[in-house]
Amino acid sequence: MLLELLATLPLALVAPASLPPVPADTPAVYRGRAGELAVRIPRLEADVAIDGRLDEPVWGRAAVLADFSQYQPVDGLPAEDSAEVLVWYSPHAIYFGIRARERHGAVHATLADRDRIDGDDSVQLLLDTFHDGRRALVFGVNPLGVQADGTRSEAAGDGGDEDVDLSPDFVWQSRGRLTADGYEVELRIPFESIRYQATARQTWGINVVREVRHSGYQLTWTPARRASASFLAQSGTLEGLYDLRRGLVLDVNPVVTTRIDGAPSELPAPAGNVAPGPWHYHTSPEIGGNLRWGATANLALSATANPDFSQVEADEGQLVYDPRMALYFTEKRPFFLEGSEQFQTPDQLVYTRRIVDPRAAVKLTGKEAGNDVGLLTAVDELTGDDGVVHHPVFNLLRVRRDLGAQSTAGLVYTDRADGHAFNRVLGADTRIYFRRLYFLQLSVAGSLTRDSAGAPARAAPLWNAVVDRTGRSFGLHYAFSGSHRDFQAQSGFLRRTGVVDARAEHRFTAYGRPGARVESFSLRPTLQAQWEYEHFTAGHQPDDFALQLENELRLRGGWNVQASPYIQYLEYPEAVYRDYAIARPSGAGTDTVPFTGGERLVNVGAQLELETPHWKTLAAQASILAGRDDSFDEWAPAWIDVTDLTADWRPTDRLRVDPSFIHQAYWRVSDGSLVRVHRIPRLKLEYQLTRAIFFRFVGQYDSERRDALRDESRTGDPLLIRDAGGIYQPATVTASNGFRHDWLFSYQPTPGTVLFAGYGSSLDASAFTLHGLERTSDGFFFKLSYLLRM
């Protein structure tokens, strides 16, 4: 008898008596609108072929999630298009089956690349595997089973709908097919591919989001309300999970790359290079690799050596509206994307693109005892202006602690060291939810910086406070932030330092009757004031002030129209024009007179935006900004036109054409002459031969012309700009015209296993033409990597 009791003891520990087994032969239906949100799913010793057909007997024993609600644009209504999600799990994986019915017409489905299903009908499964209501894994599929995965984090939002970060890629299986009344999709998510609680008994948060493209509606399984500061807190639960077996989680990912970079040269080619005519080519084969070890169910250790990111698509061109603001480019490199949600901070004090050319890096991410942990160490390789190679070392630490049901408190520390120079930042933040509709976010940080010249280290503060109310018909967002001019975050990203910013925004929304042409109308008045940091501490009035009135109209069928008039007052920014002067005629010559700008500028204009529905083969967006605005080139008023047009055309279910066009122009108010014009047409073509194989072409033409500058607001005399040598040069006409095209063949059956082959070239031409194209650089690359999962 004693031996029998001992033999049953381990089973009793993993399957406690308080959780009786779910009857395997009685499928339970959980209706979201009825509040049946605590789901007990069966544990079955079974497996199925992932083929998109839910015809195996095991699916008849799965729990069923049904009775969806509408969430956008109007919440609380029954879903017009029904769906069912079947779920069960085995010792090694969790399985989902989706039956989505579409009674209004053809399903929107294309054979797209991973994470490129935004124009299709789709279903997202949100799994909060730590059941903390703060972060969820996202597994999205379109009707053909094409995947889009990532994370959804409450900390990433500011009171509205939190964005889904599709950067991380997980290894899982999915297949789908169209049916007579909609589509079916089958999914298998292995436990070794995800992180979850290190406990014998598991309870996970769950919600299901369905995107219906013919109407533009978003549906949810739980009856989620827009009048809530947290979307994830409105999830249901998967209960009764036990004995989840991950096995050894060890991913080895060797990588071999070869680059052949070419450039014109009048000099003989270096030894060992092939030089056809005036060009020389340099070949750089490299071997590297990545390693990922799932140390526990909730902690992962990753390392990379000599990483190569040749598969990353070139950044899109951006316009400069204000020279005081830095341009932001998203991180696209795979090693830094995995676990990136662990490094989120309110002030973006961690920005891994500061690590330009890493030679090696190691990273620990996960959750332990209610603490989110992210630790990253990397060694970079940079060549300075003096031609000397530097190896800056980055150490980034982020810890965030759960407080109560939804709130958090966190610490962040970053350290960038390069010889005797360093930049260190220490910060603390908290996000507190209360009364369901509100959250309060506070953060403070300090930086300590020493440059290579050996000057004493400089310390400076940063702070930020946000209060938000996310209501259905009324909301508000108040923000107050500031940073000293000496504050630096060399491991993070700040658009501008040395300013104090105060912002007050209110949101009023009215909803139409069900079936009405107008589904919702929103009015969003926003007041913003900004000071130079020293002016704020001295008690001065704001340097800049703006009032914007955003109107948004949502029409049935997926049309969205916005009109946002604004008025803005800008004080002369002396620091921007420190190197400017005026060439004032004096007798037979000219005098160099300091440029002191003029009085405050008053800008008045409006921005119009139009978003079309996602039709079967086409979706488009258009934005036009026009009015009387500032010309920073001359610090004078100007008539402006900023137009941004994008489209997503899918002529077949395999071909995707994404054209875009950005146009920016400034005309002088005095005589209508053109000060500056900047145009960026871009075309991306993708052909998906199979789910694993696609071809891509990206062509971008960047053309800019600036007129000779003058003291437009006062004397009309020519302007001078001091060069790097301290000599004033006339600000004459400048023009640039560049064309870049990139070609890529990609074979990627799973994340980590890839074959890339590509070619890219940059060309110059005469301004605003494609005549006389002259190649300035080109390059070939080849990459082969294989994910070996132990």
- For 413-426, what is each residue's pLDDT tens digit? 999 999 889 999 99
- Verify that 365 and 462 share a domain, yes or no: yes
Q: What are 481's strand-pairing partners?
A: 464, 501
Cα separation, 712 vs 707, in Å, equals 12
Residues 215 and 328 in one domain: no
CATH, residue 89:
2.60.40.1190
Are residues 216 and 88 part of one domain? yes
**Does position 160 have pLDDT exceeding 70, yes or no?**
no
The yes-or-no verdict on residue 431 having pLDDT over 50 is yes
Indicate whether 131 and 38 sit together in one domain.
yes
Question: In angstroms, rounded to a whole number, what is the distance separating the alpha carbons of residues 35 and 119?
Answer: 31
Q: Are residues 25 and 99 in the same domain?
A: yes
Tell me the H-state helices in 479-587: 533-537
Is 337 inside a domain boundary? Answer: yes
Q: What is the pLDDT of residue 596?
A: 85
Predicted confidence band of residue 389 (pLDDT cuts 50, 70, 90): confident
Q: Report whether pLDDT(772) > 70.
A: no
pLDDT, averaged across the chain: 88
Between 186 and 769, name the one with better pLDDT: 186
717 secondary structure, DSSP code? P
Residues 6+ apart with CB under 8 A from 592: 581, 582, 583, 584, 720, 728
Which segment of 160-169, 366-375, 775-784 scores lowest on mean pLDDT? 160-169
The pLDDT assigned to 770 comes to: 61
**583-626 per-position pLDDT tens digit:** 998 877 788 998 987 788 999 999 999 999 998 899 999 999 99
Asked whether residue 432 falls in the same domain as residue 339, the answer is: yes
In a domain? residue 526: no
What is the spatial distance between Cα 465 and Cα 444, in angstroms, rounded to a whole number?
9
* Amino acid 163: pLDDT: 67
Residue 330 lies in a domain: yes
462, 497, 532 - which closes a domain: 497
**pLDDT, tens digit, for every residue of 322-357?**
788 888 888 878 788 888 889 999 999 999 999 988
Q: What is the pLDDT of residue 316?
A: 62
Binned at pLDDT 50, 70 and 90, residue 647 comes out as very high
Q: Give the model confidence (pLDDT) of 516-542 as tens digits.
A: 999 999 999 999 999 999 999 999 999
Same domain as 311, residue 222: no
CB 104 within 8 A of CB 215: yes
Last residue of a domain, one of 458, 481, 497: 497
Identify whether residues 229 and 318 lie together within a single domain.
no
Whether 458 and 388 map to the same domain: the answer is yes
Predicted confidence at residue 20, as pLDDT, reads 45
Closest C-alpha to 731, from 633, 595, 614, 618: 633
With vertex at residue 224, the alpha carbon angle to CA 221 and CA 229, rounded to the nearest 5 degrees, is 145
Average pLDDT of the residues in 640-659: 95
Q: What sign does the dihedral 5-6-8-9 (CA atoms) show?
A: positive
| Cis, peptide link before residue 27, omega less than 30° from 0 | no
Residue 376 forms part of a structural domain? yes
The Cα–Cα gap between 755 and 752 comes to 10
Gap between the Cα atoms of 579 and 135, Å rounded: 48
Residue 425 neighbours by CB distance under 10 Å? 27
**Which of 497, 529, 547 is a domain's end point?**
497
Asked whether residue 728 carries a pLDDT value surpassing 90, the answer given is: yes
Answer whether residue 305 is part of any domain. yes
The rounded percent of the chain whose pLDDT value lies above 90 is: 64
Expressed as residue numbers, the domain containing 145 is 15-242
Residues 176 and 42 in one domain: yes
Residues 54-78 have a mean pLDDT of 94
Burial of 650 (0-12, 13-18, 19+ CB in 10 A): buried
pTM recorded for the entire structure: 0.86
Count of the separate structural domains present in the chain: 2
Residue 405 in any domain: the answer is: yes
Residue 722 lies in a domain: no
pLDDT at 313 over 50: yes
* Same domain as 324, residue 193: no
Q: Average pLDDT for residues 210-234, to the nearest whole number?
A: 92
pLDDT band at 642 (very low <50, low <70, confident <90, very high): very high
Nearest to 338 by CA among 282, 404, 293: 293
∠ CA 87-92-96, nearest 5°, is 20
Q: Which of 317-321, 568-572, 573-577, 769-773 ranks highest by mean pLDDT?
A: 568-572
Tell me 233's DSSP state. G
CA distances from residue 790 to 156, 246, 361 in whole angstroms, order as listed = 34, 11, 22
758 found inside a domain: no
Q: What tokens were used for 188?
A: 């298998």
The pLDDT of residue 198:
86
On whether both 72 and 180 belong to a single domain, the answer is yes
* Residue 514 confidence (pLDDT) above 80: yes
Q: How many CB atoms lie within 10 A of CB 122?
A: 23
DSSP calls for 165-229? E-------EEEEEEETTEEEEEEEEEGGGS---SSSEEEEEEEEEEEETTTTEEEESS---SSSS
Predicted local confidence at residue 190, as pLDDT = 95
pLDDT tens-digit readout, 260-274: 888 887 655 444 444
